[in-house]
Amino acid sequence: MGKPALILASQSPRRRVILSLMLIPFETVSVVTNETLDPSHSIEENVTRIALEKAEAAKVLLPDQGRNIIILAADTVVAKGNRILGKPEGFDEAFSMLKSLQNRSHRVYTGFVLLYGHKTHSECVSTTVEFEPMSDNEIKRYLLSEKPYDKAGAYGIQDPLIACHVRRIEGCYYNVVGLPISRVCKSLKTFF
């Protein structure tokens, strides 16, 4: 049947760039799912469930043409203690989120799922990030220049103005960007 084709179920340009680091060909499919967090479940359970919903939505979109495919989907959230910071609604919420992350550590969780036929692999990876304090003006400047409203926690660790304020990171850097590539790579090896 040949090597399976890899499909990334994501609209994120950052996930596409990270996955391309593996140097294996893949296609992308854009999916829209609810992404609602269930407060009765853990953060890990929520992000892996949402990733599974994305993968299953992609599977429905892909007609079975006898192709041998692996679908990869992921979901990332930022958490300050037990409070989950998703994608901000606008400037004010983004400002409030970034202000709350100053001078303390927070965790970034990415759940990812691989679907291959009837086989499913799901995993959650977390990374701890700590910022140097940013002034209100630095936060405003960052928000106005980068407009990070499509990013959990209202920031992208790879963005120039944020990169200058990362004091410490413990765990996978790429996980903070949106895909823990080393774990995805290790998991994919079992399918190829």
Q: Which one of the listed residues 38, 64, 75, 92 is annotated catalytic?
A: 75
Neighbours of 4 (CB within 10 A): 16
Phi-psi region of 145 (alpha: psi -120 to 50; beta: other; left: phi over 0): alpha
* Cα–Cα distance for residue pair 133/116, rounded to 1 Å: 44
Catalytic residue status for 75: yes
Q: Return the residue matching tokens 């550590």.
A: 105
- How far, in Å, are 13, 119, 144, 174 from residue 22 at the CA level? 15, 22, 33, 13
Kindly list the catalytic residues.
Answer: 75
